[in-house]
Structure 1
Amino acid sequence: MAAVAAIVVFVAAYVLIASEKVHRTAVALGGAALMLLLHVTDAEKAFFSERSGIDWNVIFLLLGMMVIVSVLRRTGIFEYVAIWAAKRARGRPYRLMVMLVLITAVASALLDNVTTVLLIAPVTFLVCERLALKVVPFLMAEVMASNIGGTATLVGDPPNIIIASKGDLTFNDFLVHLAPLVVLLLAVFCGLCRILFRSAFTSDPERIAAVMALREREAITDPRLLAQGLAVLILVVAAFVLHPVLHYQPSVVALLGAGLLVAATKVTTQDALSEVEWPTLVFFAGLFVMVGSLVDTGVIGKISHAATDVTDGRLGLATMLLLWASAALSAIVDNIPYVATMSPIVADLVHQQGGGDGGHVLWWALALGADLGGNATAIGASANVVVLGIAARNGHPISFWHFTKYGIVVTITTVAIATPYLWLRYL
């Protein structure tokens, strides 16, 4: 009965989120409350379980980075970067989108996807405002690029960290096996952007001329605060990259950086917290409780086991099924609990195959399916939810279906390209 209740509540919440008749934060809170009310889960599991509870690492990583971005925004640095990017692109919308997509993808390979979109979104709003461009296509292109770019490295996407831990894989393993494919996917994605967002590539010669005449250095309003903010940001990024050595979780690093920045500068706590996306954080908390209930009741596990039973030890079939099933499921539920549930199963399959590159192809199939599948829907990946929250706050709401109709095309295309890559290289 608990499993049935979990499925009913989750499906109902998902339908409401997709219909957009009720705010997604209210839906997530209501769904989480029902899971607790019906005893599908309890406070211990919802708030403290590492396996199926609220992922506080994600919540506090977001909070810390939002505070850092809030302080940096007061320095004029985002205006500076916006003017610089617009001038380098000569004001041409498509060239500008490609530039922002590549910057986002490269940054996402070194930083967490959410951190990357938190930093790039303010720049996007400013440059689009300067050039009178539609901001929504640029935001969607960037968040999709972040999910693609994050696939390339161990630290780029949270599911990769889980996979590396379970599969005993190194940072270099991801670079060697996934980075070449990601480069190809980004090239294809840039071409897709030309087609998918072609209606956004209209320019105003007068706006372009005005931007080209600007001096980006004049945008910096507080050089001292900028120096302090950049110093803290560099320390935070370095700590992210050096996680294997320092052993500090990204959430701890982000909170320490935020605390240091507020304590060491003239920015008040109230000002620093005023621009935090609180509805987004609450939405994540509710979503984690709902998805965790599916994990606890064994729903996701049963789906995963059924998929692996079908393969019957055939590596090629297992790889393809794992790739496409992971992409489909990661479009519906957050890919972090999905990968956490699937990783022990994949570990067993790899062991049965005797390990080596032949067996490790299953790990790459899981990573590619989970990471690329996150692009399919508005709630498929954490970065998607964050960008939708930022867009709504700035008066440019992106509907669930508006995002999804583009995301599905991108997901199917990228996973389709990953299919022959895995088959030809490993099978």
Structure 2
Amino acid sequence: MQIITPEMWTSALVLVVSYVLIFSERMHRTIAAILGAVVMIGVGMWMGFYTQEAAVLAVDGNTILLLAAMMMLVALLRPTGAFDYAAVHITHWANGNPKLLLIYLSLAVSVISMILDNVTTVIVFAPLTVLICRLLKINPMPYLMAEAMLSNIGGAATLVGDPPNLMIGSAADISFNSFLVHMGLPVLVVWVGTVGLMLFLFREQLVNSGEDPKKLVATHAIKDAQGLRRVLFALFIVVVLFFIHHNLHLLPAYASFIGLTVALLLLRPDMEELFGSVNWSVLFFFAGLFIIVGGVESSGLLDLFGHMLATLAQDPAMLMLTGLLLMWVAAILSAVVDNIPFTVTMIPIILGLESSGVNIAPLWWALALGVGLGGNGTHLGATANIIAVSESEKSGMPEARISPMIWMRTGLPVMFFGLILASLVYWLFFELFTTA
């Protein structure tokens, strides 16, 4: 039996205090994250479980740079009038019906998140959504939350939709098609159930304002057609590279910077103005979170659960129960810590079980479902969530602001409902999940 060491207790305490400060909103979340990071490094160096070098390595540069590049590409797209044009036409297709609009936007975001990563999808759709809601004079809060949560669910279906999926696929040698075949059914069931639940939870906000969408179509046209073509060409390069980046051994961040470089060369924008469009607060918030979670990982706290799970999985009769337990614990932990370090921790533990004769295939799918669905529980659970929260704050509409408590009131029911549905599919179709 493993003992919880003082290092584990200390790292857990820093994590909990940091999260209390973030959730209480007694200070800006970025200040709380940076404070937590500084304290984690300090106590880690003092107790010998964390170093400055390890903290720097804990920051996921790929995520930070991907966010920065996509923020700049979206900023270059905004002056062309593309968002205004798309907003009025989507509004027209939904005929101004708020419920239909939520379904359309959710479907679009989910499908695109299966092809691109969900973070990129939400960066593009969030400002568009705020514009649509301004035109219809409705609250964008339900739409931003729905897009973030359903992009997390949609991204869980494919090998390229979410970073943990790529890590699992690489470790287990799972192909793109096999991943989609195994994850498609539970994700589809969870998606349909989640949309239905959100329509119910947001029923009071999804009320027609009486604005006629047909009057809006003629008032918003493309302002800079040539600029739009150039930015779309750069975005096309990014999308193509996202499709094939694993074959070319390119990081998504590098792929996005190739597209950004093309856009910069074609448009020659004012760089001071462009850098001003980057949400630096979000980037530093993530850097702080990565350092805090890196300290928890270095203390060995995440390994503790992995070894407990390994003991349970040794019994073949307990394999389904082990998978379900892994799914739920992975989801709950992913709601409060980043799902990437948990996935990194579990991969060698699951691989180690194979040498003991355990069929580890069901555990891969349970892990993928857990880390994919758990991010919806809190606004810190997934990168896409923070983008949605940040966009709600930038909207300038007080009713649109998504506080931590507002997120949890919807996010926790969505997370647990999704886990129940995924668990039912896992149980009923367990034979499907016994192969990789």
TM bucket normalised to smaller: over 0.9
Report the secondary structure of 1:307's partner residue.
Answer: helix
Q: Is the 8 A contact 2:378 2:407 kept in 1?
A: yes
**Aligned ranges 1:151-230 → 2 under 5 Å:** 151-205=156-210, 207=211, 209=212, 211-215=213-217, 218-230=220-232
Q: Which residue of 1 aligns with 2:17?
A: 12
Q: Which residue of 2 aligns with 1:243?
A: 245
Distance 1:370 1:55 in 2: 17
Q: Which residue of 2 aligns with 1:265?
A: 267
One-letter code aligned to 1:94: K
Q: Which residue of 2 aligns with 1:43?
A: 52
With the length of structure 1 as denominator, give the TM-score of the two structures: 0.94
Q: Is the 8 A contact 1:153 1:160 kept in 2?
A: yes
Q: Which residue of 1 aligns with 2:3?
A: none
Gaps of 5+ in 2: 1-5, 432-436
The answer on 1:423 being equivalent to 2:427 is yes
Which deviates further from its counterpart, 221-230 or 300-309? 300-309
One-letter code aligned to 1:225: G
**Aligned ranges 1:358-373 → 2 under 5 Å:** 359-373=360-374
The answer on 1:296 being equivalent to 2:298 is yes
Q: Is the 8 A contact 1:79 1:216 kept in 2?
A: no
Cα 1:79–1:352 change in 2 (3 A) is: farther
How far 1:374 sits from its partner (Å)? Answer: 0.5
Which deviates further from its counterpart, 185-194 or 369-378? 185-194
Distance 1:21 1:387 in 2: 21
1:33 to 38, 52, 60: 38
1:77 to 73, 78, 82: 82
Q: Is the 8 A contact 1:84 1:216 kept in 2?
A: no
How far 1:393 sits from its partner (Å)? Answer: 2.3
Distance 2:371 2:119 in 1: 16
Q: Which residue of 1 aligns with 2:126?
A: 121
Q: Which residue of 2 aligns with 1:134?
A: 139
Q: Which residue of 2 aligns with 1:386?
A: 387
Distance 2:374 2:98 in 1: 27
Cα 1:216–1:334 change in 2 (3 A) is: farther
Distance 1:303 1:184 in 2: 29
Distance 1:311 1:169 in 2: 21
How far 1:350 sits from its partner (Å)? Answer: 4.5
How far 1:19 sits from its partner (Å)? Answer: 1.1
How far 1:196 sits from its partner (Å)? Answer: 0.8
Distance 1:306 1:178 in 2: 26
Distance 1:43 1:332 in 2: 23
One-letter code aligned to 2:30: T
Q: Is the 8 A contact 1:277 1:390 kept in 2?
A: no
2:410 to 387, 406, 410: 406
RMSD: 1.5
One-letter code aligned to 2:262: L
Q: Is the 8 A contact 1:79 1:126 kept in 2?
A: yes
Distance 2:362 2:152 in 1: 20
Of all paired residues, the percent bearing the same amino acid is 38
With the length of structure 2 as denominator, give the TM-score of the two structures: 0.92
Q: Is the 8 A contact 2:168 2:347 kept in 1?
A: yes
How far 1:5 sits from its partner (Å)? Answer: 2.1
Q: What count of residue pairs does the alignment treat as equivalent?
A: 417
Gaps of 5+ in 1: none
Q: Is the 8 A contact 2:117 2:161 kept in 1?
A: yes
Which deviates further from its counterpart, 383-392 or 402-411? 383-392
The answer on 1:143 being equivalent to 2:155 is no
How far 1:353 sits from its partner (Å)? Answer: 4.7
Q: Which residue of 1 aligns with 2:434?
A: none
Report the secondary structure of 1:101's partner residue.
Answer: helix
Report the secondary structure of 1:118's partner residue.
Answer: helix
Spell out, residue by residue over 1:257-294, the C-alpha distance to the aligned partner (whole angstroms, 9 max, x if none).
22221222042212222211110000000000000011
One-letter code aligned to 2:33: A
Q: Is the 8 A contact 1:97 1:138 kept in 2?
A: yes
Report the secondary structure of 2:204's partner residue.
Answer: helix
Q: Is the 8 A contact 2:87 2:129 kept in 1?
A: yes
Distance 1:45 1:191 in 2: 44
Distance 1:301 1:394 in 2: 41
Cα 1:10–1:377 change in 2 (3 A) is: same
Spell out, residue by residue over 1:336-394, the C-alpha distance to the aligned partner (whole angstroms, 9 max, x if none).
11111111112223554554xxx312111000001101101110111111221222222
Distance 2:124 2:307 in 1: 39
Q: Is the 8 A contact 1:80 1:216 kept in 2?
A: no
How far 1:188 sits from its partner (Å)? Answer: 1.5
One-letter code aligned to 2:361: H
The answer on 1:56 being equivalent to 2:37 is no
Q: Is the 8 A contact 1:376 1:411 kept in 2?
A: yes
Cα 1:305–1:267 change in 2 (3 A) is: same
How far 1:45 sits from its partner (Å)? Answer: 0.6
The answer on 1:23 being equivalent to 2:28 is yes
